[in-house]
Structure 1
Amino acid sequence: MNIPAWVWVATLCGLALLLIFDLAIIGRRPHEPTIRESALWVAFYVGLAGLFALGIYLTSGGVYATEFVSGWVTEYSLSVDNLFVFVIIMGKFAVPRIYQQKVLMIGIILALIMRGAFIAVGAAVVSRFVWVFYLFGLFLIYTAIQLVRHKEDDDDVKENLMIRWARRVLPVSKDFDGARMTTRLNGKKFVTPMLIVMIAIGTTDLMFAVDSIPAIFGLTQEPYLVFTANVFALMGLRQLYFLLGGLLDRLVYLSLGLAVVLGFIGVKLLFHAMHENNLPFLNGGEHMSWAPDISTNLSLVVIVGVLAVATVASLIKSRGAVETPAPAAPVATEAVESEADAPGKARGATGGSSARGAIPEPNRPQ
Structure 2
Amino acid sequence: MDILFLDLMGKPLWTWGVFFALVLALLVFDLGVLHRKSHEIGIRESLWLSAFYITVGIAFSGWVWQHLGSQAALDYLTGFVVEKSLAMDNIFVIAMIFGYFGIPRAYQHRVLVYGILGVIILRGIMIGAGAAVVARFEWVLLIFAGFLILTGIKMLRSGDEEYDVAANPVLRFMRRRFRVTEGLEGERFFVRRPRDLSGRSALFLTPLFLALVMVELADVIFAVDSIPAIFAITTDPYIIYTSNIFAILGLRALYFALSAMLHRFVHLKTALSLVLIFIGSKVLAAEFLGIEKVPPALSLGVTAGILVGGVVLSLWRTRPAAIAPALAIKVEGPAK
User: TM-score higher than 0.5 here?
Assistant: yes
Q: Would you say 1:154 and 2:184 are equivalent positions?
A: no
Superposition TM-score, scaled by structure 2 size: 0.88
Superposition TM-score, scaled by structure 1 size: 0.81
When residues 135 and 2 of structure 1 are mapped into structure 2, their CA distance, relative to the original with a 3 A threshold, is closer
Q: Which residue of 2 aligns with 1:329?
A: 332
Q: Would you say 1:295 and 2:303 are equivalent positions?
A: no
Q: Which residue of 1 aligns with 2:172?
A: 164
Distance in 1 of aligned mates of 2:111 and 2:77: 28
Distance in 2 of aligned mates of 1:184 and 1:61: 53
Q: Secondary structure at the match of 1:183?
A: strand
**Map 1:229-268 → 2, pairs under 5 A:** 229-268=243-282
Per-residue CA deviation, residues 141-164 of structure 1 (Å, 9 max, x unaligned), is 111111111121135445322111
Q: Secondary structure at the match of 2:328?
A: coil
Distance in 1 of aligned mates of 2:289 and 2:102: 56
User: Does the 8 Å CA contact 1:144/1:260 hold for their aligned counterparts?
Assistant: yes
Cα drift, residue 65 of structure 1: 1.3
Q: Would you say 1:38 and 2:46 are equivalent positions?
A: yes
Q: Secondary structure at the match of 1:28?
A: coil
**Map 1:204-223 → 2, pairs under 5 A:** 204-223=218-237
Cα drift, residue 27 of structure 1: 6.5
Q: Secondary structure at the match of 2:102?
A: coil
**Map 1:330-345 → 2, pairs under 5 A:** none
**Letter in structure 2 aligned against 1:326:** A
Cα drift, residue 178 of structure 1: 0.4
User: Which of 208, 215, 239 lines up with 1:225 in the alignment?
Assistant: 239
Distance in 2 of aligned mates of 1:265 and 1:329: 46
Q: Secondary structure at the match of 1:326?
A: helix
**Letter in structure 2 aligned against 1:329:** E
Q: Would you say 1:192 and 2:200 are equivalent positions?
A: no
Q: Would you say 1:64 and 2:72 are equivalent positions?
A: yes
Distance in 1 of aligned mates of 2:130 and 2:64: 22
Gaps of 5+ in 1: 275-287, 331-366
Per-residue CA deviation, residues 22-57 of structure 1 (Å, 9 max, x unaligned), is 232476300112333222211111111221112222
Cα drift, residue 15 of structure 1: 1.4
Q: Would you say 1:18 and 2:26 are equivalent positions?
A: yes
Distance in 1 of aligned mates of 2:38 and 2:92: 23
User: Does the 8 Å CA contact 1:107/1:202 hold for their aligned counterparts?
Assistant: yes
Cα drift, residue 194 of structure 1: 1.3
Distance in 2 of aligned mates of 1:257 and 1:251: 10
Cα drift, residue 73 of structure 1: 0.3
User: Does the 8 Å CA contact 2:91/2:259 hold for their aligned counterparts?
Assistant: no
Cα drift, residue 97 of structure 1: 1.4
User: Does the 8 Å CA contact 1:107/1:198 hold for their aligned counterparts?
Assistant: yes
Spell out structure 1 runs of 4+ moving beyond 6 A: none
Cα drift, residue 289 of structure 1: 6.9
Per-residue CA deviation, residues 174-195 of structure 1 (Å, 9 max, x unaligned), is 1110011223444443221112
Q: Secondary structure at the match of 2:261?
A: helix
Distance in 2 of aligned mates of 1:211 and 1:256: 15
The range that moved more, 289-298 or 195-204, is 289-298
User: Does the 8 Å CA contact 2:189/2:209 hold for their aligned counterparts?
Assistant: yes
The size of the alignment, in residue pairs, is 317
User: Does the 8 Å CA contact 2:50/2:250 hold for their aligned counterparts?
Assistant: yes
Q: Which residue of 2 aligns with 1:306?
A: 306
Cα drift, residue 215 of structure 1: 0.4
Q: Secondary structure at the match of 1:154?
A: coil
User: Does the 8 Å CA contact 2:166/2:172 hold for their aligned counterparts?
Assistant: no
The range that moved more, 237-246 or 299-308, is 237-246
Distance in 1 of aligned mates of 2:234 and 2:309: 24
Gaps of 5+ in 2: 1-8
Distance in 2 of aligned mates of 1:21 and 1:249: 32
User: Does the 8 Å CA contact 2:180/2:205 hold for their aligned counterparts?
Assistant: yes
Q: Secondary structure at the match of 2:62?
A: helix
User: Does the 8 Å CA contact 1:79/1:237 hold for their aligned counterparts?
Assistant: yes
Aligned-CA RMSD value: 2.1
Aligned sequence identity (%): 40
When residues 176 and 134 of structure 1 are mapped into structure 2, their CA distance, relative to the original with a 3 A threshold, is same
When residues 106 and 28 of structure 1 are mapped into structure 2, their CA distance, relative to the original with a 3 A threshold, is same
Distance in 2 of aligned mates of 1:297 and 1:81: 25
User: Does the 8 Å CA contact 2:39/2:107 hold for their aligned counterparts?
Assistant: yes
When residues 26 and 157 of structure 1 are mapped into structure 2, their CA distance, relative to the original with a 3 A threshold, is farther
Q: Which residue of 1 aligns with 2:125?
A: 117
**Letter in structure 1 aligned against 2:264:** R
Q: Which residue of 2 aligns with 1:346?
A: none
Distance in 1 of aligned mates of 2:241 and 2:70: 18
Q: Secondary structure at the match of 1:235?
A: helix
User: Does the 8 Å CA contact 1:107/1:205 hold for their aligned counterparts?
Assistant: no
